[in-house]
Amino acid sequence: MSGNGVPTSHLRAAMRLILYMGWTIFLFPIQMIVVALNLPLAKAIPMIYHRGCLFLFGISVFIRGEPVRGTSILFVANHCGYIDIAIMGALVPCVFVAKMEIGQWPLFGILARLQRTVFVDRQAYMSAGTQRDILRTRLVAGENLILFPEGTSSDGNRALEFKSSLFSAAVPGPGESPVVLQPVTIAYTQLDGFPMGRTMRPYCAWYGDVGLVPHMWQLLGLGKVSIEVEFHESITVTHESKRKELAAKCHRVISKGLSEALSGRSPKPANLDSPPLSASFS
């Protein structure tokens, strides 16, 4: 039991960590091979991996709306921490846009590279055009990109201001086909079936100067965490679209969705009464 009364278990954390490492070690070499050979499985294995991680961590995901399919999409979501990676990675075949430092992290940097993550330097404003071209190339190639435009993670209670620079990747050039952008809200709503209040949400959200290892150990020791993900109406981006306007619109939509989900005002997710995402691995 933690000092704040949140039920955590060192035994549960240890068991989950052992199972997570075993799951990672099992799929790690397989993904290395399919990426090296550029096989289609390189997109499918990360989804299997992330879904397995959610199950092992005791996280259930309930979905409202549907992700756009059939074309390359730029998904834009609020960001609470590393669990968001598993959530979005489990729901859509995708490539993440991440800050450069993550590529140097032990283990997680390697895992990010195996999912073909696009690393950007958010401080290198002079190279913004180059970074935009890299993202644009991946979209044209048919990839789905996941962008967390806050540039950092929050406490999960609100969406921070969106940085607009990388939204330019979604704006096609003259004569190019329109791009589809879809805002996504990620809301951490329940712990062991009870509403998760503002003070409890940081047990799941990793932000500020909190150490990664102690936070992850604490998270692994929690009970059942429920998360709602809402795929909002997609936006068709044309040559006339402005990146700052796109960023502002996505922030309004996602912030509204987050506020409604955390306050319980949102309609029930479409699959709330059916087995959640993680149930397929039970």
CA atoms of 282 and 159, how far apart (whole Å): 32
* Structural domains of the chain, ranges and CATH numbers in brackets: 10-269 (3.40.1130)
Residue by residue, pLDDT tens for the chain (282 residues) are: 444 556 689 999 999 999 999 999 999 999 999 999 989 899 999 999 999 999 999 999 999 999 998 788 999 999 999 999 999 999 999 999 988 888 888 888 889 889 888 888 766 554 556 788 888 888 988 889 999 999 888 999 999 999 998 899 899 888 788 899 999 999 999 999 899 988 888 889 888 888 889 999 999 999 999 999 999 999 999 989 999 999 999 999 999 999 999 998 877 775 544 445 654 433
Alpha carbons within 13 A on the beta-carbon side of 26 = 11
Put simply, whether the predicted model's pTM sits higher than 0.85 gets the answer yes
Q: How far from chain centre, in Å, is Cα 16?
A: 21
Q: Find out whether 251 and 184 touch, Cβ atoms under 8 Å.
A: no
